[in-house]
């Protein structure tokens, strides 16, 4: 059983969380191996192509089929429609786990009446999970790049979130596992924390609460 984390009160600031590899665990080695096996190619070039075409998918400007076609083109393979369905399903499932330690920190913030929101670079296929999953009621707003047609770390997506939340940039606190995304939040006047684990996240949040 996960221990209860004491409340963390940061009002009037709003803590905005990334999803992937912050709230979620990264895909497991087994998940990754299964995806590479289904793709039928070597791992190293697969992951290079996988990430090279991710931004248009996350921005909602490329469909799932277009994304996998682009990945396949880089690898010199042509997947059919059924291949794409299977590749998508394996990939999608790999991002659906959750980190209980991070969720404990989220609940501590909620008990402290700290406002919370979620901002994720993710395709439209993740909207239902992010907006209606069991953790969704913790957030007053859920922002998904594939719906907004904006992506981190570009300033426009942070400015949109700040405006929609009705806060000043100084009240915007952002948690993400990628340093460039945190730097993007700081560039528009917010503050942020590069996530490595829940212990260091909690320590950072409590240091803000004591100021």
The pTM for the full model equals 0.93
Band the pLDDT of 95: cuts 50, 70, 90: very high
Pairs from 123-129 (Cβ < 8 Å, separation ≥ 24)? 123/57, 123/58, 123/60, 123/64, 123/67, 124/60, 125/64, 125/88, 125/92, 126/19, 126/92, 126/95, 129/96
Please state, in angstroms and rounded to a whole number, the distance separating the CA atoms of residues 54 and 42.
Answer: 19
- What mean pLDDT do residues 98-122 have? 97
pLDDT at 108 over 70: yes
What does the domain layout of the chain look like in residue ranges?
14-26+98-209, 29-94
pLDDT attached to residue 47: 98
- CATH domain 14-26+98-209 topology: Rossmann fold (3.40.50)
Please state, in angstroms and rounded to a whole number, the distance separating the CA atoms of residues 184 and 99.
Answer: 24
pLDDT at 130 over 90: yes
């Amino acid at each position: 059983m996960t221990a209860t984390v004491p409340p963390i009160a940061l009002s009037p600031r709003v803590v905005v969380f990334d999803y992937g590899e912050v709230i979620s665990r990264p895909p497991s080695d087994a998940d990754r191996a299964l995806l590479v096996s289904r793709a039928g190619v070597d791992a190293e070039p697969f992951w290079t192509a996988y990430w090279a075409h991710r931004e248009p998918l996350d921005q909602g400007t490329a469909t799932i089929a277009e994304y996998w076609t682009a990945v396949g083109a880089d690898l010199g393979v042509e997947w059919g429609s059924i291949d794409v369905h299977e590749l998508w399903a394996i990939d999608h499932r790999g991002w659906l786990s959750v980190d209980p330690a991070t969720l404990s920190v989220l609940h501590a913030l909620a008990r402290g009446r700290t406002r919370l929101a979620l901002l994720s670079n993710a395709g439209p296929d993740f909207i239902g999970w992010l907006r209606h999953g069991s953790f969704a009621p913790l957030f007053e707003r859920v922002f998904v790049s594939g719906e907004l047609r904006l992506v981190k770390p570009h300033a426009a997506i942070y400015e949109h979130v700040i405006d929609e939340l009705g806060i000043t940039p100084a009240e915007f606190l952002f948690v993400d596992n990628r340093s460039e995304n945190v730097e993007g939040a700081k560039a528009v006047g917010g503050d942020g924390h590069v996530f490595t684990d829940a212990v260091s996240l909690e320590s950072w949040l409590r240091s803000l609460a004591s100021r």
